[in-house]
Amino acid sequence: MRFARVIGNLIASQKYRGLEGVKFLIVQPLDSQRQPDGEPYIAADATQQAGPGELVFVIASKEAAMALPVGFVPIDAAVVGIVDDVDDRPLYDADSVGWKVFVRPQAEEPAKTQRKGAKKRRRKGK
Let me know: does 6 contact 50? Beta carbons within 8 Å: yes
pLDDT in tens, 66-122: 888 887 789 999 999 999 988 877 666 666 555 555 555 565 555 555 566 666 666
Query: What does the chain come to in residues?
Result: 126
The predicted model scores a pTM of: 0.68
Average pLDDT of the chain?
A: 82
Domains by residue range for the chain, with CATH: 2-82 (2.40.50.220)
Let me know: does 4 contact 27? Beta carbons within 8 Å: yes
pLDDT of residue 88: 76
